[in-house]
Amino acid sequence: MKNFIFVAFLFIMLSSCQKEGRSPVVDEWPSFATNDSLLPTGGPKILSSTILTATNANQIPSQMFQVNPIYKSAYVHLLQYSGECSWTNYVLCTGAIARANGNVYPATHAKVTAVKNDCIGHAGTTLAASNISTLNWYAGAYDYGIIDKQLCATAQTTAGRFDMVKYMLAHINTYHSPFIALALDPNTGVGHYLIVWSIDWQVGGTGSMIYYTNTLLPVQTTFDMNLKSCSLTTFLNWMQNNTQANYYNCLFLWPH
């Protein structure tokens, strides 16, 4: 995959959407540290390599990690149909990245249905088709000319939790693009997908905030009105407490 040096680190990924199924997948681990040369002039104060080599949260200085505003401008929000959070969030996240870089990519329920049907055709059942591993497959099979992607998981341990924080920060620090996280719906506590846009990191982690969009919420008139926030600790708890997922899971996406 372009711009990545892969580490031979294998893991098993389990995932869910609401009460939908899960399936294992074997993938490789990326190194964001090799991509600091892609940062724009006047970009982040912190190198991604500095983030990834940190052994504790006090070694990552405070910084607002933000996506490029072009992705916010290109984002179109949809209120998902029942049980379609996986495909809806994939279409909305990929679509924002694609349109911001001059590609045509509809953000419509018709497009969500088309992605859903292709995923079902590949996975065999609707439940398996909703898995984050199936979204990863779809990105590679259908959208490889528009986006690059990497499916990442870390263990639900203290070390795994900090690793996921580092990968989330390093992704935004390097590519400045939104990504998909497998978590919980904050209102119902049911397994759900959310799109992450920015993380306001505070050294040590305490007081850090994360900003996301939720397709279970109605469409608002501006991007900022669609944007929600909570503490990073709360968000990580949502990721961990999804009873149908045994790992912290993110699907990182960036322009091809």
CB atoms within 10 A of CB 140: 14
Indicate whether 58 pLDDT > 60.
Answer: yes
Computed from CA positions of residues 24, 242, 20, 111, in that sequence, does the dihedral angle turn out positive or negative? negative
> According to the model, what pLDDT value does residue 42 have?
45
Between CA 201 and CA 231 the distance in angstroms is 10
The pLDDT assigned to 181 comes to 98
- The pLDDT > 70 percentage for the chain reads 83
Confidence of residue 70 (pLDDT cuts 50, 70, 90): very high
Asked if the model's pLDDT at residue 92 lies above 70, the reply is: yes
For CA atoms 51, 158, 200, 171, give the dihedral sign. Answer: positive
Pick from 26-30, 125-129, 158-162: least confident: 26-30
pLDDT of 235 higher than 50: yes
Query: What are the pLDDT digits (tens) for 163-209?
Result: 999 999 999 999 999 999 999 999 999 999 999 999 999 999 999 99
Which of the given ranges, 3-17, 31-45, 238-252, has the highest pLDDT on average? 238-252
In this model, does residue 15 exceed pLDDT 80?
no
CB 25 within 8 A of CB 151: yes
Angle at 90 between CA 180 and CA 232, to 5 degrees: 15
Total-model pTM: 0.86
Percent of the chain surpassing pLDDT 90: 79
Tens-place pLDDT, residues 71-85: 999 999 999 999 999
Mean pLDDT calculated for residue range 34-62:
75
Among 116, 103, 145, 132, which Cα is nearest to 21's? 132
**What pLDDT does residue 197 have?**
98
**Token output for 103:** 């590609």
Structure tokens at 3: 């711009």
CA distances 130 to 63, 184, 215, Å, are 34, 15, 15
CATH number of 7-255: 3.90.70.130
- pLDDT, tens digit (0-9, with 9 covering 90-100), for 97-116: 999 999 999 999 999 999 99
Cα atoms found within 13 Å of the Cα of residue 155, Cβ hemisphere only: 7
Q: Is 159 exposed, middle or buried (0-12, 13-18, 19+ CB in 10 A)?
A: exposed
User: Residue written as tokens 């990191």?
Assistant: 201
Which pLDDT does position 243 carry in this prediction?
Answer: 82
Q: For residue 19, is pLDDT > 60? A: no
Average confidence score pLDDT of the chain: 86
Has residue 244 got a pLDDT over 90? no
- CA-to-CA separations, 136 to 4, 129, 132, 201, in angstroms, rounded: 16, 11, 6, 27
CA distance 105 to 91: 8
| 102: DSSP letter | T
Whether the pLDDT of residue 12 is over 60: the answer is: no
Go through the chain and tell me how many residues it has: 256
What's the CA gap between 49 and 199, in Å, rounded? 18
